[in-house]
Chain A
Amino acid sequence: MNGLTRLLGLGMMAAASSVFAGDTPAPPDAHLYIGWPNDGEAIDSCQFRVWFGLRHMGVAPAEIDKPNTGHHHLLIDVDLPPMDQPIPNDRNHLHFGGGQTEAIVEVSPGTHTLQLIMGDKDHIPHNPPVVSEKKTITVRC
């Protein structure tokens, strides 16, 4: 019974990921994280550098079709976009299609959230999606 429940769970997860993710596979152990700033960081500048951390996967510019690669997107003050469509390109969804692995961002004073998500050559999240934890920072300037 326990095994059956687990099997059902796995089946549902598989079904969910196939519906709500793009077609480009990502390594199952790919790990995306924001190297800096830390969660809860208070920053005395409205302009600061964000480090993009990625393990068990590589970076490639947009439009480059290489297995186990993608390019970084930084989400600012916004929740995750749909996982089966191109990531929007606006002030809340910054694209790093040149293969950049860090960025200087500028925000208004106050509390902000930061989160990273990898996109494939067409800016669509991978399967499974490669997403960092969301961090909350406070900025004064």
Chain B
Amino acid sequence: MLRLYLLMVCITGICAGGAAAQNTPAPPDAQAYIIWPGDGQVIEGGRLWVRMGLKNMGVAPSGVSTPNTGHHHLLINVDPPPPGEPIPNDRNHVHFGAGETEARLTDLPPGEYTLQMLLGDADHYPHNPPIASEKIRITVPPY
């Protein structure tokens, strides 16, 4: 019976997460979303504040393992990492491990960008289920 249960869990896709080093649960109704800018927004000057929204869950700095919390990551021009892997820390994966809820982006060269939020747990692993926003596109016109 237990084996059957595990099999069912694996079929529903949670098995992959379960195999990871981290498996921090997130509330099933948690939702990350980019409050601003909107999808398709044109950003003059290449400078903006990205306002990061989170429903039914809380923010905590990295290293803090309070239940139902995480910290924000902003993915720029990149897809989320594979399930079970920590979120990289580079120019395309910006960490907000101090509990920040807004991201200041400056000096973005003219061009097209994608932005997506992904919540990480105390150790920068995505939750189970992963809490990611929709991916939006912004345009920085020549300046």
A interface list, Cβ under 8 A from B: 35, 51-55, 57-61, 64, 66, 68-69, 96, 98-102
Contacts and interface: CB of A to CB of B under 8 A. Distances in A.
Given A60-B64, A99-B59, A101-B101, 8 more contacts: A51-B53, A60-B59, A60-B60, A60-B99, A61-B58, A66-B64, A101-B52, A101-B58
Contact of B55 (A35, A52, A66, A102): A102
A102 B64 contact: no
B100 interface: yes
A66 B35 contact: no
B79 to A, nearest CB: 25
B66 interface: yes
Interface residues of B, number: 23
Given A51-B53, A60-B99, A69-B98, A101 B64 contact: no
Interface of B: 35, 49, 51-55, 57-61, 64, 66, 68-69, 96, 98-102, 104
B99 A69 contact: yes
B61 A60 contact: yes
A98 B70 CA distance: 11
Q: Which 7 pairs show the lowest CB-CB distances between chains A and B?
A: A99-B58, A58-B99, A98-B58, A59-B59, A58-B98, A59-B99, A99-B59
A51 B51 CA distance: 10
B61 A64 contact: yes
Contacts of A53: 51, 101-102
Contacts, number: 75
B132 to A, nearest CB: 17
A59 B51 CA distance: 14
A105 B25 CA distance: 26
Nearest to A52: B101
Contacts of B51: 35, 51, 53
A6 to B, nearest CB: 31
A66 B54 contact: no
Nearest to A54: B101
B99 A102 contact: no
B69 to A, nearest CB: 5
A101 B66 CA distance: 15
B98 A101 contact: no
Nearest to B101: A101
Contacts of B99: 58-60, 66, 69, 99
Contacts of A51: 35, 51, 53
